[in-house]
Amino acid sequence: MRTTFVSVLTELAESDDRIFLLTPDMGFSVFERFAEKYPGRFLNTGVAEQNTVGIAAGLALSGFKPYVYSIAPFALMRCYEQVRLGAAYMGLNIKIIGAGGGFSYGALGATHHIIEDFAIAKVLPGMIVCAPADPVEARQVFEQSARTESPMYIRIAKNNDPVIHKPEDVVTIGKAFTLQEGDDMEIITTGAITHRVTEWLPELHRQGVSAGLTIFPTVKPLDTEFLDELIKTEKNILIVEEHNIIGGLGESICAYLGKKNARNKIKHLGVPDVYSHYVGSWQFILDKFGLYAMPNINELFSQAIPL
């Protein structure tokens, strides 16, 4: 998805001279093409995330469309006060791109894991929060972001992400996308973990479970129209996300379904309310938290009760 981001932004900058890319000490083997083509619209600020967002705010107030790119914990958390006041409070057109969401940087330890970003980004009034699942989603989210006059936080993985979508699929910010229809249950997911969840579908089919899979490229705002239709089916709902179970997509969905007195049985799989002391590959850490292998669906829902 990182390559997709750079490619799309380079293309957009050709026809929109307001696009400006900032990065705090990132970019080796990443941004050379953009920097060479648009040297006046690229700034490496060094290890100074707070200053970077402050500069982005100044650029936005001057009519530019600044994109701030860094590893997710540093892009959002190290400069959270500046994101809150410089982007969200003033409603500025600043896009924060957090790379390596979840456990993408698993081998670098807890400092580089990020399981809180949905929670702290979506609580900011006016902030749109997206998490593309693959390069096809990422391209469309980035293209639409340039036409969206609002602060945004966009979580991406690293690179070489498997493609889930067909090239002709249309993804829209604020809308869910149903990848597969199913009658018995609906799996809802977001972000890079989606491609792992798609690998559960053949086994579910062999077990006689007709499972649908719907992706939420946008964590905030929620696609409540989709949820309203899902409520009517009374299907079982399984939410899977690479985020703390507190504050993420699942909690937002459960809160909405509760307000609507939904009768669906619902289970939420995410990272428990702990930091990971595991250091290793993405697969290794997901497996430690029960997010890699498919759960026993019958057992899972035998413990569930309707909201």
Clarify whether residues 81 and 31 are in a common domain: yes
Clarify whether residues 47 and 119 are in a common domain: yes
Clarify whether residues 10 and 143 are in a common domain: yes
Q: What is the pLDDT of residue 159?
A: 77
Q: What is the pLDDT of residue 158?
A: 82
Q: Does residue 22 lie within any of the structural domains? A: yes
**Could you read off the pLDDT tens digit of each residue along the chain, which spans 307 residues?**
889 999 999 999 999 999 999 999 876 678 999 999 999 999 999 999 999 999 999 999 999 999 999 999 999 999 999 999 999 999 999 999 999 999 999 999 999 999 999 999 999 999 999 999 999 999 999 999 999 999 999 999 987 889 999 999 999 999 999 999 999 999 999 999 999 999 999 999 998 899 999 999 999 999 999 999 999 999 999 999 999 999 999 999 999 999 999 999 999 999 999 999 999 999 999 999 999 999 888 888 876 656 5
Q: Does residue 279 lie within any of the structural domains? A: yes
Which residues span the domain enclosing 246?
A: 177-302
Q: What is the pLDDT of residue 29?
A: 72
Q: How many domains does the chain have?
A: 2
Q: Does residue 166 lie within any of the structural domains? A: no
Q: Does residue 167 lie within any of the structural domains? A: no
Clarify whether residues 182 and 274 are in a common domain: yes
Q: Does residue 208 lie within any of the structural domains? A: yes
Q: What is the pLDDT of residue 75?
A: 95
Q: Does residue 165 lie within any of the structural domains? A: no
Clarify whether residues 130 and 182 are in a common domain: no
Which residue among 87, 121, 155 closes a domain? 155
Q: Residue 269: which CATH number?
A: 3.40.50.920
Q: Does residue 171 lie within any of the structural domains? A: no
Clarify whether residues 120 and 231 are in a common domain: no
Q: Does residue 9 lie within any of the structural domains? A: yes
Nearest to 289 by CA among 304, 269, 259: 269
